[in-house]
Amino acid sequence: MENSVAENKRTGAELIVDALAGFGVDTVFGLPGDTGVGLYNALYDHSDVLKHILVRDERHAVAMADAYARVTGRVGVAEVSSGGGTTYAVGGLGEAMASGIPILLITSDIHTRSRGTGALTEIDQLALFSAVTKWRAIVEKVDQVPNMVRTAIIEATTGHPGPVALIFPEEVLDQLSSLTGTVPDPELTRLPGERIGARPELAAGAAARLQQAEKPVIIVGSGVFTSQAEAEVAELARKLGAGIATSIHGRGTVVDDNPNLLGISGNNGGQPGVNAHLAEADVALFVGTRANATNTNGFTCPRRGSVFPIHIDVDSAIAGVNYPDGIALIGDAKTILGQLIEAVAEVPERTREARLAEIAEARKDVTDPHETPGQVENGPAAGLIPADCVKLIAALVPETGCVLADPGTPTPNVANYWPVAETGRRIVIPRGHGPMGYAIPAAVGGYFGTGAPVVSFTADGSFGMSCGELETVSRFNLPILYVQFTNHSYGWIKMLQHLYYDKKYFGVDPGTIDPLPVAQASGFTRTARPTSLEELEAVVREFAADPRPTYVDIEVPHMIAVTPPVPAWYAALNGDSERPVY
C-alpha cells in the first residue's frame, strides 16, 4: 500500500484500513456521515485492499456483516457515522449480540473539542452500545489505532463471540502517525479465538454419566459452528448411539442422513417426535446452545428436573444456567467433545441398534404441512403451501452459498424443509431476537461471504422494513433469489391473537405493498408472482441457470389456515390454550 501523505506518515483512517486489511478483512459494509469523511478518504485511496459495500441503512450494514460472519466464521465489519448512523446500527447489533456473532463496528464521532456542546450527531456512544456490544472503546489518539483494532478483533472472537464497537472522534481519523501498522495476523479474525478444554475431572464425570445413561441425547446449537466441532458431535453421538437434536441455529451442524439425527427441538420448528424423544431422556448433553425456552419447548424437552444435564459452552453465563444441577463444562466445544470422545467407550452393538431404531421412529413423527389443525378447523386454504415452495427451491438450486429466512412464516418452514447435505453454517436464520427485515440485507453479506448464489426467504412484513436495500442488490448485480411469503398480515402475531386472545385481531393487518414494482424500480429485471408450483419452478430454474437479482412473491395461506410446525400452536388448536412463555 502506498503512503498518501507526506513524510511517510499515515492518517488514523489509513491505519484503520491497514489494520483491517492486515487482519484479513476484505469487505466492509457501511454508509457515510459528516464525521466519517476522513475514513472514506482512506477507503478511496485503498480500495485495492478493502472492498466497501455502500448500503441504504446502517441497520442493514450490520445485518450484512452479521451474515458474512455466520457463513465465513470470521469477523464481519460494518462502519457507520455518529448520530443517526450509530442509533440505526443498534437494530442490527442486538441480533448479533444475542446470537454470539463476531462483528467489528467502526463508528466516527464528533470532534473531541465539541463534546458537551450539543453538536449535531452528539450521543454517548459507549452508553448507546452498552447493551448491544460485548466490548466497546473510544480511540482517543491516532497511535492507538493499530492496537485497538487488534484488541477489538480479539474481543469479538474470544470467549462468547459477539459484536464490538470502535469509536473514532473525527480528528483521530485525520491525525498523522509515524506508525506503519500492526504485525498482520489474518488468523485473528477467525473463530474460535482460543481453545480451552474442560477440567479433566469434570470431563471424566460427564463422560461417566453419558456412558451410564439409558437414553442419552445431545442438543446442539450454533456454538458448534463457532468451534468447528461438527465432526466431534457426530462421533460422540455415534459412540453412544445418542440422538442429536438441533436448535434452529444449530441446523447444519449435522447432515440429514446421519442416523443419529433427530431433527429440530423446541417450539419454533420443533417436531413432535423429536420433542417426545428428548422429553424421555435421562441424560442430556447441550453443546453451544442457550437451551432457552424456545429451544426446549418451555424446558420440557428435555425435561428440566428429571434429566441430568451436561452443558458445554464457552460462556459461563450460559453453561448450566437454564438446566442447573448438572455438570457445566466451560470452554471450547471441539476440545471438550474430544475429551468426552476419549473417555467414553462405544456402546455395545445391540444397544446402539436399539437406540438408532428409536431415533428412526422419532423422526417419522413429524407434522404434515398439508394436514394441519388449522386446515381441519378452517377448510382448504388458498395459496401455495410454504413447505412445498421451500422443498422445491432447495431441489432446484443445490449449489446455494446460503439460505436465509426472516421471522414469521419463513422461519419454521426453512428450518424444517431446507435440506442439509453437508455440515456447515449455510442456513442463516436470526434467532437471537428474530428481527424482521433481516433476510433482505443479510443475503448481501451471505453472498460476499460465500461467493455463491443465495436464496433469501422473506415475508410481507419484513419486506416493508428493508425493501430499500434491494437497490444495493441490483447495483452489485448480486445472484440472490428473494422469495416472499405474502399473507397480507403480521401473521405470526395475528396467530397469537387467534389462539390466545379470542381472535381479537388488532394491529396486525397493515395494507399491502406490491413488492414486484418496488423490486423493479430498484433495478430488478426478473420478478414473478407464481400461482402454482409449476410457475414457481419455471422462475427458479431461470435463476439457477442465470443467477442475478430475482424477486418472487408468493401468496400463501395465513397460519390460521395452515399451521406451521410450532408445537404450542398444535397444542392450542387441540385445546391446550396455555400460552408458551419465552
Residues that bind ligand TPP (CB under 6 A): 406-409, 434-436, 459-462, 485, 487, 489-493
Binding partner selected for residue 407 from ligand TPP, Mg ion, none, CB under the kind-specific 5 to 8 Å limit: ligand TPP
- Yes or no: say if 122 and 114 are a contact pair by the CB < 8 Å rule: yes
Per partner kind, with CB cut-offs from 5 to 8 A, the member of Mg ion, ligand TPP, none near residue 453 is none
Closest alpha carbon to 133 in 78, 60, 208, 205:
78
Site string for Mg ion, 482-511 (x = CB under 5 A): -----x-x-x--------------------
Q: How far is the CB of 569 from ligand TPP (least distance, A)?
A: 12
Given Mg ion, ligand TPP, none, residue 446, with its beta carbon under 5 to 8 Å by kind, binds none
- Provide Rg for the chain, Cα atoms: 24
Which of Mg ion, ligand TPP, none does 83 bind, CB closer than 5 to 8 A by kind? Answer: none
Query: Closest CB to ligand TPP among 398 and 507?
Result: 507
The binder of 569, among Mg ion, ligand TPP, none, by C-beta within 5 to 8 A per type, is: none
Beta bridge partners of 166: 106, 137
435 binds, options ligand TPP, Mg ion, none, Cβ within 5 to 8 A by partner type: ligand TPP
Backbone angles phi, psi at 57, to 5 degrees: -165, 135
Nearest-CA neighbor of 559 among 569, 572, 545? 569
Residue 170 in grid coordinates: 473525527
Segment lying near Mg ion (by CB under 5 A), choices 34-42, 443-451, 454-462, 565-573: 454-462
Nearest CA among 237, 241, 231 for reference residue 347: 241
Kindly tell me which of 373 and 383 has the beta carbon lying closer to Mg ion: 383
Q: What is the spatial distance between Cα 206 and Cα 215, in angstroms, rounded to a whole number?
A: 15
Which window, 137-145, 224-232, 455-463, 563-571, contacts Mg ion (CB under 5 A)? 455-463
192 contact, one of ligand TPP, Mg ion, none, CB 5-8 Å limit per kind: none
122 or 555, CB closer to Mg ion?
555
* Edge-to-edge strand ranges of the sheet holding 135-138: 51-54, 27-30, 76-80, 103-109, 163-169, 135-138
Q: Quote the CA–CA distance of 440 and 207 in Å, as a whole number.
A: 43
Task: Give the footprint of Mg ion on residues 13-72 (CB under 5 A).
Answer: none
Minimum distance between the CB of residue 494 and Mg ion, rounded to whole angstroms?
A: 8
For the CB of residue 88, give the shortest distance to ligand TPP in the complex, in Å.
13
Sign of CA dihedral 108, 113, 119, 123: positive
Among residues 374 and 435, whose Cβ is nearest to ligand TPP?
435
Q: What angle do CA 407, 411, 414 make, to 5 degrees?
A: 145
CB of 414 to ligand TPP, least distance (A): 12
How far apart, in whole angstroms, are the C-alpha atoms of residue 75 and residue 185? 13
Q: Which of Mg ion, ligand TPP, none binds 216 (CB below 5-8 Å, type-dependent)?
A: none
| Residue 492 interacting partner from Mg ion, ligand TPP, none (CB closer than 5 to 8 Å by kind) | ligand TPP
Q: How many CA atoms lie within 13 A of 236 on its CB side?
A: 31
Q: How many distinct helices (H) and strands (E) make up the chain?
A: 23, 20
Angle of helix 439-450 relative to helix 58-72, nearest 10 degrees?
40
Residue closer to ligand TPP, measured from CB, 371 or 509: 509
DSSP 193: S
Closest approach of Cβ 411 to Mg ion, in Å? 12
> In this chain, which of 14, 58, 95, 460 binds Mg ion, going by CB under 5 A?
460
Tell me how far, at minimum, the Cβ of 314 lies from Mg ion, in Å: 36
Task: Write out 319-370 in H/E/C secondary structure.
Answer: CCCCCCCCEEEECCHHHHHHHHHHHCCCCCHHHHHHHHHHHHHHHHCCCCCC
Of residues 61 and 439, the one with the C-beta less far from Mg ion = 439
Q: Which is nearer to Mg ion, 52 or 498 (CB)?
A: 498
Please identify, using beta-carbon distances, which residue of 288 and 564 lies nearer to ligand TPP.
564
Run of H or E including 243: strand 243-246
**Of 76 and 491, CB closest to ligand TPP:** 491
Task: Report the residue number, 44 or 582, with the smaller CB distance to ligand TPP.
Answer: 582
Q: Which chain residues interact with Mg ion by CB under 5 A?
A: 459-461, 487, 489, 491
